[in-house]
Structure 1
Amino acid sequence: MDQAVNNPLLDFTDLPRFSEIRPEHISPALDVLLERAQAAVARAEDPATPSDWANAVEALEAVTEPLGRAWGVVGHLSAVADTPELRKAHAENLPRMTEFWSSLGQSLALYEKYKALATSPEFGGMSAARHQLIENELRGFRLGGAELPEDQKPRFAEIQEQQAQLSKAFSDHVLDATNAYALFVEDPARLAGLPEDAQEAARHAAEKDGKAGWKFTLHFPSYFPVLQYADDRALRQTLYEANVTRASEHGAQYGSGQADWDNTANMREQLALRGEEARMLGYQCYGEVSLVPKMAESPAEVLKFLDELAVKARPYAEQDWSELKAFAAAELGLADLAPWDVAYASEKLRQQRYAFSEHEVKQYFPEPKVLQGLFGAVERLFSVKIQPDTSQTWHKDVRFFRVSAADGTLLAQFYIDLYAREGKRGGAWMDDARGRKILAEDKVQTPVAYLTCNFSAPVGDKPAQFTHDEVITLFHEFGHGLHHMLTQVGELGVSGINGVEWDAVELPSQFMENFCWEYEVLTGMTQHVDTGEPLPRALFDRMLAAKNFQNGMMTLRQIVFSSFDMHLHTDFDPQGAKSVLELSREINDRVHVVPQYPLSRWPNTFSHIFAGGYAAGYYSYKWAEVLSADVYAAFEEAAQLSGTVLDSETGARYQREILSVGGSRPAMDSFVAFRGRAPQIDALLRHGGMAA
């Protein structure tokens, strides 16, 4: 315990001591944890050690879980509070962490122990969750290279380490390029059309830098309102071009940084390494490796699914695009619709057609009311209580909450970090700080989640106000959080999101988004920032009418990303003549109705697949949407009888069959247990306005 007192990263008695953790704690903590882990692995591998649950699984988990938790804290801080010192400490330790996990996955002796356990009499008496965990581990050993000839294992380990380094570098380049850019505007006339809160945030940002005028950056809450609202076309073009050239060979020219932040070579290197890894494991391509632990059977099945969805969406997308071009030419004098005009013209068309602007809607979503409404909906659906709690955090804006059962029993806790800032990577995500498991003497280690977004921070004395899209994002991430927090599985490896097939992991998150389109839910989470009025029914009806505005175009955009990802990992040659960029253009030309701008280098910032674990898995957003829409349809059916989509009986069944079982059984089994049948695509097409 003395070490834990001196080194907060070694204290696992409760929550991370964020305000005390410093970069200099990282290496010494990992020295201790790696030494313990390596000793435990050696004991488990010893031929004299029995091949049973206690010695093969529990003994290893006892040392790998604290190691994973400590490194998870380091990774989390790198994502939300990056500093040069932290980045250096992370980079120094990444190789040895990768080496440890690679050597664990490659251990033939451990693999043999698990195989012996799976055929032992003990296995027959185990719970379904333990069976699933052991099956997953056996698969993990096969994919980790345990069956490779000994002389090939060093190269396989080297590939893992190089991939980890490249993935971190990719992410760092995107973050650095985003942070490096600043555009100062001094002429107020250039801000015409920009909402007051966006102007105020830009003025505040310039003031903070000791400059006059307004400062715009490539962080989404700063950059996107310009694209959406600014009448100054040149201003839109400047920011658009800076954004689409981040982390590319054009970055320096357009203001987002240095030549060595160009991710072009990094992508090719990662793809070549993934291909080599796949061939060493006996697969034809990395797409096949990626799908082994997923629901989809083969790359061909995924591409067929995407192509069929594209065919259904295309007529709607063509109509969206031709309407937008006609409107822009006739109403805005934009005969040639440039990429930096699309969001602007779309917002103007939406306002004309549905008589509201996103800015008008935003004023009904002040942060305190939104959180109150989100928590209220969750409490009704799942019979839980969400209350503020106390814990150390990594930034003053971070808040902490507890989730309790109706009888007051603690179920879980979560941190929520909502605002964009420097040193924090873009996007939104849920991550686990700690998983659920049954400890000795019937004590439970309760799960803890991180919920991270990048919304606009409050300026002045008003609370932050969220766009409806941001509210949807918040519900999405909270859906992931519920999957992690409401699990009832006691085995760490399959509790919560652990062990859930990657193409099913988006089901609970996308499911929650649907409630953002229900008036009964929105009345409980809206309050005009000035008048205190809830969202008027007439405005909601116009929002609902606009819900599927340009959904055809947006669906094709997602299919471009998904197809690009799958082709990159199945039939693209990273050493060939064709570049990653050329492949992206080819797929865009084939699938999309909106042309890809020649200057655009969007693959260079596609962090999901090059730094976020979605390689050959980006399709899972669309795949899971079929499942989530069908699951939500059960709540719509229940509402016809009970009068509310927040139907607690259906909520309890959803919690029992999907959330609480986590990864302890195949996702398809959980879906069928909830729905009583196999999934159907009808609800997705209906919700998306693409049903005949």
Structure 2
Amino acid sequence: MAPELRTTDAPLAPIDLPGGGDWLSWVAERCEAELAEAQRQVGLVKAGSSDAPVVLDAWNRAETAIANAESVALWAEVHPDAAVRDRADELSQDVQKYVTELGLDRDLFAALDGLDPAGLDDDARRVLDHTLRDFRRSGVDRDEATRDRLRELSEQGVKLSQDFGRHIRDDVRSIRIAPERLAGLPEDYRAAHPADDDGLVTLTTDYPDLVPFVTFGSDGDARRELSLAANNVAWPANDQVLQDLLAVRRETAELLGYDSWPDYDTEVKMIGSGQAVADFIDRVGDAAKERAGEEVAVLLERKRADVPDADAVMTYDSRYYGELVRREQYDVDGQVVRTYFPFEQVRQGLLDVTGRLFGLEWTPVPADEARTWHDEVASYDVGLGGTRIGRIHLDLHPREGKFKHAAQFDMVKGIAGRQLPEGVLVCNFNRGLMEHDEVVTLFHEFGHLVHHVLAGQGDWARFSGVATEWDFVEAPSQMLEEWAWDADVLATFARSAAGETIPADLVAAMRRADHFGKGLYAVQQMSYAARSYWFHAGPHDDLTAYGDELQRRYSVFPPLEGAHMHCAFGHLDGYSSGYYTYMWSLVIAKDLFSAFDDDDLFAPDVAHAYRDKVLAMGGRKDAADLVADFLGRPYSFDSWAAWLAE
């Protein structure tokens, strides 16, 4: 059964972007108008009605308007005009200040707390329960002095988070090296990096420069130099910013009665407690330790063929020697593989694959109709059963002042009969040939976009889009990665310039080669998760030194001397203490994928059941229940453990 669609006499339309017009005014006017609407609806909630459905409808409209206002943060990350980005940051502070005030508004809380839930349907009751829970987590029941301090901390936290992200976004570093030090790089990469008047080549820390260089560049010193630059982005500025942000979070949790920020943060997540995060990190680390040790020994042996006295494999060696091992021992040459993945073909192939899988139609929107913020943004209307159910925007290449990583951002939360869901995928891919791991990343991130649109067909803003527990949100996207590894799927779009389809035996070799490094991946992920957790669990005077200690404890790669990676570790803001989410979600993703038939990944009965029971539900049920509804049983570690041992 497809997600329920509701139509009005006038079909819903996407929001009207200004295109080449006055973005500075438009961003401010939209944000301020939505805040004014939120305030009006909140006034209706507080008007004294005891009719629960009427009050909750007003609250839902308020939450919808707040979400629309909060989406101003998108323009701080993607707009090419620095003035618009700065204004969006200022407006975001206003929005978050208002949200904080609402969370501490005792009259508003009393109006909602006094409602009689009898007669409400399951969704409405869940909205009310979650809303009252969030009020208590905001500190509405604390004394006046505590609530005043919580306001101050919230405002400080918003500003610090913006500073942290802006320092990363604006700090593109570079190195200059002689052309001969590009040895090992593909021809198209070298052609795109000609020598300047001084006879030197400039390489930046943006992904299209960084990733191929550390994967294929044979000059170890140059790999180290560029890796060090990348790991020092936003240093030293973000060191103190992060310390201040961590302090704000610790004090907030303490004022609210929690032992630590991770305990506060995990209360509304699947994992349930801070200690459970620490235990999970150790569980995965212990499970992967032996395999990681065996794999790093293989890398070291290969490195010694080049550097006989080498005694360790460094982080900047891992991709390069991993690539050599796959080429020499698994007969997979990444430079050959990438010839089958021109960007434009991959993008279209992704649309075709997801359209077939989920029964969706992707219709290109002409630039003069979409009127987006940059001419490289590609927009598509999303259809299901001949009805438009949303719009997406793909902003996939790097530029100055743009968000530096890969993520999906909400532009509009979908509300049945009121507004179409619109989402934006923001990445930093090469405009030419893509590495296969970039193809996998694109499938992953696009999964969030599909989730946002499919779950934007219901009545409640609270449950619209990717609205599940935060440690589940990666699972659907991680599962979609599997389609980027299937030979039959890849054969539909992976073709060389000569028109040759990627050979099935090459894909099989790629899959075999991909098994190498799973242990390394798991322990390195746990070193990141440990930073995320332990930085928040208690104060540490020197985050660089403590981060290096955690690297030595969990990873098999020594810390990079002179690096301060925590300053560029953007997930310490958005995910705070919850970076474990990626591996936790992977456990569930492997279990979800076990329901699909390897011989027919497009089987509609399974694909549509997954679409309707997991993706389209948004936040209407707890994530564990969504998984159980689809699998017919609770999730388990078994599929993940089998994957790790494979």
Which residue does the alignment assign to 1:615?
A: 576
Q: Which residue type is aligned with residue 539 of structure 2?
A: D
Aligned alpha-carbon RMSD (Å): 2.2
2:539 is the alignment partner of 1:573? yes
Write out per-residue CA displacement over residues 173-211 of structure 1, whole angstroms, 9 at most, x where no aligned residue: 112222xx23344x43222211112222323xx78xx98
Distance of aligned partners of 1:486 and 1:386 in 2 relative to their CA distance in 1, 3 Å threshold: same
Assess if the C-alpha contact under 8 Å between 2:79 and 2:85 holds in 1: no
| 1:613-692 superposed matches below 5 A | 614-636=575-597, 639=598, 643-688=599-644, 690-691=645-646
**Kept in 2: contact 1:371–1:525 (CA 8 A):** no
**Distance in 1 of aligned mates of 2:304 and 2:396:** 38
Aligned match of 2:553 = 590
- Answer yes or no: is 1:563 the counterpart of 2:539: no
Is it true that 1:506 corresponds to 2:474 in the alignment? yes
Verify the 8 A CA contact 1:455 1:466 in the aligned structure 2. yes
Which residue number corresponds to residue 452 of structure 1? Answer: 426
Q: Output the CA distance in 2 between the equivalents of 1:387 and 1:95.
A: 36
Alignment-derived partner of residue 228 in structure 2: 241
Task: Name the SS of the counterpart of 1:20 in structure 2.
Answer: coil
Secondary structure of the corresponding residue to residue 421 of structure 1: coil
| Structure 2 residue identity aligned to 1:561 | Y
For 2:42 and 2:545, locate their aligned partners in 1 and report how far apart those are by CA, in whole Å.
46
Residues 328 and 335 in structure 1, CA contact (< 8 A), matched pair in contact too: yes
**Could you tell me which residue of structure 1 aligns to residue 186 of structure 2?**
195
The equivalent residue for 1:266 is 241
Mapped pair 1:540 → 2:507? yes
1:432 is aligned to: 410
The one-letter code sitting in structure 2 at the alignment partner of 1:22 is W
For residue 327 of structure 2, the aligned residue among 351, 365, 384 is 351
Equivalence for 1:148: 142
2:323 counterpart SS class: helix
Aligned mates of 2:539, 2:175 — CA distance in 1: 38
Shift of 1:658: 0.5
Write the mapping of 1:35-114 to structure 2, written as runs, cut at 5 A. 35-46=36-47, 48-50=48-50, 52-55=52-55, 57-72=56-71, 74-114=72-112
Paired residue total: 630
Q: Is the 8 A contact 2:175 2:204 kept in 1?
A: yes
Matched, 1:495 2:464: yes
2:3 equivalent in structure 1: none
Structure 2 contact 18–26 (Cα < 8 Å) conserved: no
Secondary structure of the residue aligned to 1:433 is strand
Shift of 1:329: 0.7
The offset of 1:416, in angstroms, is 0.8
Letter in 2 for 1:684: W
What is the aligned partner in structure 2 of residue 4 from structure 1? Answer: none
Letter in 2 for 1:451: L
Quick check: 2:45–2:58 contact (8 Å CA) kept in 1?
yes
Letter in 2 for 1:495: S
When residues 87 and 369 of structure 1 are mapped into structure 2, their CA distance, relative to the original with a 3 A threshold, is: closer
- The equivalent of 2:318 in structure 1 is 342
Describe the superposition over 1:371-403 as per-residue Cα deviations: whole angstroms up to 9, x where unpaired. 333222222322222221231111111111122
Instruction: Give the % identical residues.
Output: 28
Q: Deviations over 1:315-365 (max 9, x none)?
A: 110011111111111245462444433332222222111223222111101
Q: Is the 8 A contact 2:67 2:413 kept in 1?
A: no
Displacement after TM superposition at 1:414 (Å): 0.6
CA distance in 2, matches of 1:45, 1:597: 56
The answer to whether the 8 Å contact 1:94/1:165 transfers is no
After superposition, give the CA deviation of every residue in 1:553-606 in whole Å (9 maximum; x if it has no partner): 111011111122122222x225xxx42223212222222221112312111111
Give how far 1:128 is off. 1.9
Aligned match for 1:399, one of 364, 374, 378? 378
Contact 1:166 1:270 in 2 (8 A): yes
Task: Pick the aligned partner of 1:290 from 247, 265, 287.
Answer: 265
Give, in angstroms, the shift of residue 474 of structure 1: 1.0
SS of corresponding position for 2:396 = strand
**1:327 aligned to 2:263?**
no
**TM-score, reference length from structure 1:** 0.86
The whole-number CA distance in structure 1 between the counterparts of 2:552 and 2:544 is 12
Q: What is the deviation of 1:77?
A: 1.9
Between 1 and 2, higher relative CO (CA 8 Å, sep ≥ 6) is seen in 2
Cα distance 1:333–1:86, how it changes in 2: closer, same or farther (>3 A)? farther
Per-residue deviation, 1:266: 1.1
CA drift of 1:475 comes to 0.8
Partner of 2:7: none
Partner in structure 2 of residue 373 of structure 1: 349
TM-superposed CA distance for 1:533, in Å, is 0.7
- TM-fit CA distance, 1:550: 1.3
Q: CA deviation at 1:230?
A: 2.1
Cα distance in 1, alignment partners of residues 81 and 355 from structure 2: 38
Q: Secondary structure at the match of 1:560?
A: helix
The residue identity in structure 2 corresponding to 1:456 is N
Structure 1 residues 13 and 349: CA distance shift in structure 2, 3 A? closer
| Equivalent residue letter for 1:239 | L
Moved more, 57-66 or 292-301: 57-66
8 A contact 2:394–2:424 mirrored in 1 = yes
8 Å CA contact 2:44, 2:58 repeated in 1: no
Report if aligned partners of 2:627, 2:634 keep a CA contact under 8 Å in 1.
yes
Using the alignment, how far apart are the partners of 1:66 and 1:140 within structure 2?
A: 18
Deviation at 1:99, TM superposition (A): 1.4
Distance change (3 Å), C-alpha of 1:183 and 1:149: same
Q: Secondary structure at the match of 1:554?
A: helix
Answer whether contact 2:77 2:85 (CA < 8 A) is retained: no
Looking at structure 1, the residues matched to 545 and 282 of structure 2 have their Cα atoms a distance apart, in angstroms, of: 20
Aligned-partner residue type, residue 351 of structure 1: R
Shift of 1:549: 1.8
Any conservation in 2 of the 1:12–1:66 contact (CA below 8 Å)? no
1:304 aligns with 2:275: no
Distance 1:506 1:676 in 2: 21
Name the aligned partner's letter for residue 41 of structure 1. Answer: V
Greater shift in the superposed pair: 21-30 or 428-437:
21-30
Distance in 1 (alpha carbons) for counterparts of 2:508 and 2:28: 56
SS in 2 for 1:314: helix
- Structure 2 CA distance, aligned partners of 1:633 and 1:338? 35
Letter in 2 for 1:98: Q
Following superposition, the deviation at residue 22 of structure 1 comes to 2.3
